[in-house]
Amino acid sequence: KLVEVTSSLLFNYFPFFIIKMDSSALFFTFSAAIIILYFLRCLISQRHRVSSKPPLPPGTMGWPYVGETFQLYSRDPNVFFASKQKRYGSVFKTHVLGCPCVMISSPEAAKFVLVTKSHLFKPTFPASKERMLGKQAIFFHQGDYHTKLRKLVLRAFMPESIRDMVPDIESIAQDSLRSWVGTKINTYQEMKTYTFNVALLSIFGKDEVLYREDLKRCYYILEKGYNSMPVNLPGTLFHKAMKARKELSQILARILSERRDERSSHNDLLGSFMGDKEELTDEQIADNIIGVIFAARDTTASVMTWILKYLAENPNVLEAVTEEQMVVSKSKEEGESLTWGDTKKMPLTSRVIQETLRVASILSFTFREAVEDVEYEGYLIPKGWKVLPLFRNIHHSADIFSNPGKFDPSRFEVAPKPNTFMPFGNGTHSCPGNELAKLEISIMIHHLTTKYRCVYHLLYCLFSTFIRVIYFISLVIVLIRGNFIITDGQ
């Protein structure tokens, strides 16, 4: 309307002005009229584009800058997300950890972000973590480089590759259990040591024994700085972590040099990286080895800790698992190692692992970032906003799993519907080491139930639970610290 009125005035009265003006004034007046019309049209066009965009999802953004971060951390984060979902539905907005976010909590939405339109949502991590793991690590990339790395990792972790590792993983599990006998242990910390040693085995093969202590010493310093402020000043966690990171790179460089001198093939992750025809650089190999240790350690240790808790709380399930494992044990000769085939004779144990992954939901959510404006279900996800698929909300949905708060392994006697069970993520960035994780858990459960028993240490807190939400990462790991006594026999 504004353009029409302005145009009418100009064209109706312009001849009158022409009569009164000389040629110079006429030129400037005409030019001004054209410019005014142009800017008016641009203004109207811009308003039209803005009004034609879909609305943001429902929700609240909280206070300026801090958003709703305090509400998130002042109580159980799962309660925060569940209450938001109940009020606003499966797609809602909020502002946490310094970022505007869209939370999604339906299988369809998770598939949209992680699979169908995954190219529109890139993984995102805090700057400190990216610098410590290394910018060439698989987590931080999409496209051809990510595809190439994923193939190399999968080649090392596929069942055909890890089946020969069973006796070595079993040896690590037995050594761990023997060291715990008669002592009060912090379950989670001891499981972290176990999974760290298995991770080194999967990366370096038998060579891991030579470098285990040096790698462990450096990595333990490095991990303390993962979520620190990226201030590289002497004495800070970040500074210590970066110093340890540099030493880790030097150790890995020595290992690479020795492998090249050997000129022999190795059926482990390092062998897969070094055997690539296009050849990864030493920096790329180091970044991805450190990244794999990071991914393989804490989450698997958390799962095993939760398994102990749920078995202790459900003695009938523990008894059934023990019976299943005793059948496997009795089929072996004295001192005979487990085989890959033996681990496939543990269906109940497998369901216990699955149900633990569902109930505990170690991977409660993951972070993505929209690389452009995206429309979903009639809502706008603006470019640059974080998008969080809430796996825990999906795993605890009564519409998907009946009585979701109950620990019930029998529910996995029937396979869950697609995109309703995502303990290892989904899509191209799902965990490529899930088979190895399930294998090392099964082996530990086998020996723990057939040769040992673990009981609460009554002189200490039976189970102190706490939640540690790590700043701006793809995982929220819920940890349980338990004080157990490990003893021989039943």
- Counting every residue written for the chain, the total comes to 490
Q: Give dist(CA 95, CA 382) in Å, integer.
A: 13
Beta strands in 124-213 (DSSP E): 184-186
Contact 342, 349 (CB under 8 A): no
- Residue 12: inside a domain: no
Determine how many CB atoms are found less than 10 A away from the CB of residue 289.
Answer: 25
**Within a domain: 1:** no
Residue 446: is it exposed, middle or buried by C-beta count within 10 angstroms (0-12/13-18/19+)? Answer: buried
- pLDDT-derived band at 474, boundaries 50, 70, 90: very low
Q: What is the CATH number of the domain that holds 70?
A: 1.10.630.10
CA gap 357, 423 in Å, rounded: 6
Q: Which residues contact 383 (CB under 8 A, 6 or more apart)?
A: 370, 371, 372, 373
Domain count, the chain: 1
Residue 51 pLDDT > 80? no
Structure tokens at 212: 């285990």
Q: What is the Cβ-side half-sphere exposure of residue 449, based on CA atoms within 13 angstroms?
A: 27
b/e code 413-444 from CB counts within 10 Å (16+ = b): eeebeebbbbbbbbbbbbbbbebbbbbbbbbb
Matching residue, tokens 């494992």: 325
162/7 Cα distance (integer angstroms): 76
Predicted confidence band at 287 (pLDDT cuts at 50, 70, 90)? Answer: very high
Give the separation between CA 72 and CA 190, rounded to whole angstroms.
Answer: 30
Indicate the range of 168-182, 392-406, 466-480 predicted with least confidence.
Answer: 466-480
From the list 274, 278, 300, the residue with the least C-alpha distance to 286 is 274
- Average of pLDDT values for 467-485? 32
Q: Is residue 163 part of a domain?
A: yes
Q: 169 CB contacts (<8 Å, ≥6 apart)? A: 198, 201, 439, 440, 443
Full domain range(s) for residue 297: 59-488
> Closest Cα to residue 191, out of 356, 391, 396?
356
Structure tokens at 240: 């210590």
CB proximity list for 36: less than 8 A, separation 6 or greater? 6
| pLDDT band, residue 37 (cuts 50/70/90) | low
- For 250, list phi and psi in degrees, rounded to 5: -70, -40
Torsion-angle region of 279 (φ positive above 0: left; ψ -120 to 50: alpha; else: beta): left
CA distance 333 to 329: 8
In tens, the pLDDT along 78-106 reads 888 889 999 999 999 999 878 899 999 99
Per-residue confidence band for 147, with pLDDT thresholds at 50, 70 and 90: very high
In a domain, 21, yes or no: no
Q: Of 6-10, 129-133, 240-244, 460-464, where does mean pLDDT reach its minimum?
A: 460-464
Q: For residue 2, what pLDDT is reported? A: 47
Secondary structure element (H or E) that encloses residue 137, with its range: none
- pLDDT of the residue at 489: 52
Q: Can you give the pLDDT at residue 383?
A: 96
* 99 labelled ligand-binding: no
pLDDT at position 181 is: 84
Model pTM score:
0.82
Instruction: Flag whether 17 is in a domain.
Output: no
Residue 246 lies in a domain: yes
Q: Within a domain: residue 7? A: no
Percent of the chain scoring above 90 in pLDDT:
58
Q: In percent, how much of the chain has pLDDT > 70?
A: 82
Q: Does residue 3 fall inside a structural domain?
A: no
How far apart, in whole angstroms, are the C-alpha atoms of residue 336 and residue 340?
13
